[in-house]
Amino acid sequence: MKIDYSQARSAQAVEDDTRTDLKAKAKDACRRRITTVMSASALLNLAADAASGALGTVDMQAYAKWRAWVKEMRATWPRLAAPNMDPSIDGYWPVLPQSVTALARKY
């Protein structure tokens, strides 16, 4: 019996693939959580209103909180790409401010 080693993979290659998969899973979870709050088209409309000065003071404050929350989300996902972490657990992610929820409903 002859063994074909041409398809053999090193432990490092397997580990690298696992790490890549974990990163993709965590990053995708982040993207889904963000776009669940506000779609891309809603965000474009909101950004246009913010840039044009069409938002009132309260909505501008909520928009600033939205941007800060998205920044926190993007800073969080790399930590959740570890083998012992589960990005589907809500408690690992930053809490969405209520004012952002109210603003998102308008768009």
pLDDT per position as a tens digit, 62-77:
999 999 999 999 999 9
Q: Tell me the pLDDT of the chain (107 aa) as tens digits.
A: 777 766 666 766 557 656 789 999 999 999 999 999 999 999 999 999 999 999 999 999 999 999 999 999 999 999 999 999 999 999 999 999 999 999 999 99
Can you tell me the distance from the alpha carbon of 20 to that of 18, in angstroms, rounded to the nearest whole number?
5
pTM of the model: 0.81
